[in-house]
Amino acid sequence: MTFSQNFKDDRSASADGSEALDLSSKLRDAGLRPTKQRLSLAHLLYSQGNRHVSAEALHEEALGAKVDVSLATVYNTLHQFTDAGLLRAVAVESSKTYFDTNTTDHHHFFIENENRVVDVPASQINVSDLPEAPEGMEIARVDVIVRLRKKT
């Protein structure tokens, strides 16, 4: 369920193949066939703690790790993972979409001049007195984005 943030060997599966099995079942549980590409991307995404990646960045990372995937497949995979609840799309005003490997309740810093997203644990921000949702609507989620800029 949760992934250790301290992987000593982050490139290859452990000797008994347990990480590969973990990822396989994670995908299978989500209704996704554990194909080579999906497993490789899942490994890149989930073996380094919480991350915020764009499709393009993940694609380059994959190529750098000798994982041969097309950009289209990276997009498809990111969306499939998101639909399956394995990832979460983060809304910032930049034109790119960022995918967050942390799907638990939390918020974000957005560093304006670097276009970078950083997690803020839900416990560190208190949001209260939410307004009522209009008739027939319900609150799906509350996102808090704390925009940071360089101090002048």
Residues of this chain that interact with its own copies (CB under 8 A) are 89-93, 97, 109, 111-112, 120, 124-131, 133-134, 136-151
Q: Token match 């800029």: residue? A: 149
CA atoms of 98 and 128, how far apart (whole Å) = 27
Residue 2 CB neighbours (<10 A): 5
Nearer to its own copies, 71 or 145 (CB): 145
Nearest to 103 by CA among 66, 65, 73, 141: 141
Tokens 């997690």 sit on residue: 119
Which of the choices its own copies, DNA, none does residue 91 contact, using the CB cut-off of 5 to 8 A by kind? its own copies
Task: Tell me the closest approach of the beta carbon of residue 72 to DNA, in angstroms.
Answer: 3
By C-beta, is 4 or 126 nearer to its own copies? 126
Chain residues binding DNA by CB under 7 A are 28, 32-38, 54-56, 68-73, 75-77, 79, 95-97
Shortest distance, position 149 Cβ to DNA, whole Å: 19
* C-alpha distance from residue 117 to each of 99, 100, 121 (Å): 10, 9, 13
Q: Give the β-pairing of 88-90 and 98-100.
A: antiparallel
Is the CB of 84 or the CB of 148 nearer to DNA? Answer: 84
Shortest Å, Cβ 56 to DNA = 6
Give min distance, CB of 31 to its own copies, in A.
Answer: 20
